Amino acid sequence: MQPSEETLSTTPQQPKTVLVTGATGYIGGRLVPRLLEAGHRVKVLVRTPQKIADVPWHDDVEIVADSLSDAGSLKEALAGVDVLYYLVHSMASGSGFEAKEEAMARLVAGAAAGAGVDRIVYLGGLHPADTALSTHMRSRETVGRVFLESEVDSIVFQAGVVIGSGSASFEMIRHLADTLPVMPAPSWVNNRIEAIAVRDVLHYLVAAAALPDKLNRSFDIGSREVLKYKEMMNDYAVERGLPRRLVIALPVPAPKLAGLWVALVTPIPLSMSFPLVQSLQHDAVSREHDVDRYLPQPDGGLTPYRRAVALALGKERDGQVETTWANAGIDADPLPSDPDWAGYKVFLDERTFHSDARPEHVWTIIEGIGGKNGWYSLPLAWRVRGWLDKLQGGAGLLRGRRHPKTLNTGEVVDWWRVEEIDRGHLLRLRAEMRAPGGAWLELAVEPDGDGSLYKQRAIFFPRGLAGRLYWLGVYPFHGVIFPSMARNISAAAMTLQEAEQPQGSGVATDNP
């Protein structure tokens, strides 16, 4: 049996109480169950507990509902904690971004010292020394330094490009290589990169809880395999069974233009593509391998790049992606109370459709909506709207979904996010596209005689005059898209039901 993408090999550890911040993120969501497997008592600090309501480890952890910006709440959350995992890094930008990140780190470090925490573990980024860094890389370096200079012993792991199913770096490589057989590219595609498999990152994070006391330092971690970025795209293509890509490095860095291009071609939105591209402006290679003196490597050694790609592709093919970069998301207000809209102006588009298909088959289609399954109406119109959203810096349609058949609260479905799921009955999606207002889409089913009644409701809360004009502008398209969507979902459910009926079990009629 081949090892799974995130198989860990750790020496036996003395059980400790650990607090994980960033548990709704890509790394944090995978770290929590592995800490539990190692025998630790795990607490998670989340602003919105509903985001982890459906994760398999929900009932095995203590959930603290609060933020990192309140010293009083932090004191309570850190009570009795031995190890704090700080896995928070915002992809926000703008004035004051770095100062806010640093201030939060200092607040957390002070609270950890006051609570008697033994160790802080932070995951930062590989970067060259004595070089002007991008805003986000500089911020991550600053946060790591804050912890190392604090009163609490800290371990700062510095990792480069993380390769794993659902990681932003892997999605960027995958979509570029899948889409473009010939790629004119900025000069940074010739920069040297040391990637690391997500399974190896998790190995080091879990093992850090067992490091000896009075150890306060950073460790560079990576695969020990250094490639140019264009070689990484070509090795991906080979592993994927595609012809090698022709990557033409142009003698210009063009980070902003490259960020825009990445946002258009990949699922990564502009808000993330710019910092990701900026992080590639310099070589990202380990300067030391001291971690080997303190921690064993994973079973079988560190994962080579091509092997990490193969594991990630296998996870996606088998529908076993645990977390994705997109599922981290941002907190947003839920749908206002229904049916009393609390004084808000609201626009509705409601549809119902009776189907001879049983409710469970209609629900299967509802829960599988989006991603490769599409939206059951005018695919071109959906794609055009997705491209327009991308051009405005929104999510677009390329984010897809984590699993082709099942959804959990907080997960993304293209430009939507699952706000509520009452499995077998109701799916409520909140839009994360750029629009002058808040939008939701509800899909529901209930029994109706021998068949079912499919219910569909689009809800839009306009923001000012622009929101009202926006609804009027898209209303004619809704008049075509939403009725066909209701019909086609019901028809797909009927096709599914017929396909599952044993041959020869058709309903008898009075016809000869």
Helical ranges in 240-342 per DSSP H: 255-265, 270-278, 305-317
Whose structure tokens read 């016809």? 511
- Residue 95 has a pLDDT of 57
Report the alpha-carbon distance of residue 493 to residue 490 in Å, rounded: 5
Quick: pLDDT tens for 130-142.
777 788 888 899 9
Report the alpha-carbon distance of residue 214 to residue 24 in Å, rounded: 30
Report the alpha-carbon distance of residue 462 to residue 460 in Å, rounded: 6
Report the alpha-carbon distance of residue 199 to residue 216 in Å, rounded: 24
Mean pLDDT score, 388-411 = 86
Lowest mean pLDDT among 45-49, 276-280, 439-443, 466-470: 276-280
- Residue 53 has a pLDDT of 85
Q: Nearest 5 degrees, angle CA 69-CA 75-CA 76? A: 110
In 3D space, the residue among 391, 362, 150, 120 whose CA is nearest the CA of residue 264 turns out to be 391
Interstrand relation of 437-448 and 426-431 (parallel, antiparallel or unpaired): antiparallel
Mean pLDDT score, 143-156 = 96
Per the model's pLDDT, the better-predicted residue between 265 and 19 turns out to be 19
Determine the length of the chain: 512
SS3 at position 348: strand
Quick: pLDDT tens for 82-129.
999 999 876 555 557 788 889 999 999 999 999 999 999 999 999 888
Prediction pTM value? 0.78
> Alpha-carbon dihedral of residues 332, 337, 338, 344, nearest 10 degrees?
-80
* Side chain identity at residue 179, one-letter code: T
Give residue 329's pLDDT band: very low, low, confident or very high (50, 70, 90). Answer: low
Per the model's pLDDT, the better-predicted residue between 502 and 364 turns out to be 364
Q: Nearest 5 degrees, angle CA 24-CA 269-CA 135? A: 80
Report the alpha-carbon distance of residue 412 to residue 51 in Å, rounded: 11
* Side chain identity at residue 328, one-letter code: A
* Side chain identity at residue 70, one-letter code: D
Task: Report which secondary-structure segment, H or E, holds 361.
Answer: helix 359-367
pLDDT above 50: residue 250:
yes
- Residue 368 has a pLDDT of 95
Whose structure tokens read 């066909």? 484
Give residue 8's pLDDT band: very low, low, confident or very high (50, 70, 90). Answer: very low
- Residue 510 has a pLDDT of 36
What is the C-alpha end-to-end distance of the chain, expressed in Å?
57
φ/ψ of 16, rounded to 5, equals -130, 165
In 3D space, the residue among 315, 391, 386, 353 whose CA is nearest the CA of residue 492 turns out to be 353
Report the alpha-carbon distance of residue 37 to residue 416 in Å, rounded: 32
How far CA 419 is from CA of 53, 413, 434, 485, in Å, comes to: 11, 11, 17, 20
In 3D space, the residue among 391, 287, 327 whose CA is nearest the CA of residue 166 turns out to be 327
Whose structure tokens read 């607040």? 107
Report the alpha-carbon distance of residue 80 to residue 90 in Å, rounded: 27
How far CA 417 is from CA of 26, 238, 431, in Å, comes to: 16, 33, 6
pLDDT above 80: residue 10:
no
Interstrand relation of 182-185 and 246-249 (parallel, antiparallel or unpaired): parallel
Centre a 10 Å sphere on the Cβ of residue 94 and count the other Cβ atoms it contains.
7
Lowest mean pLDDT among 42-46, 118-122, 333-337, 387-391: 333-337
Centre a 10 Å sphere on the Cβ of residue 506 and count the other Cβ atoms it contains.
9
- Residue 75 has a pLDDT of 84
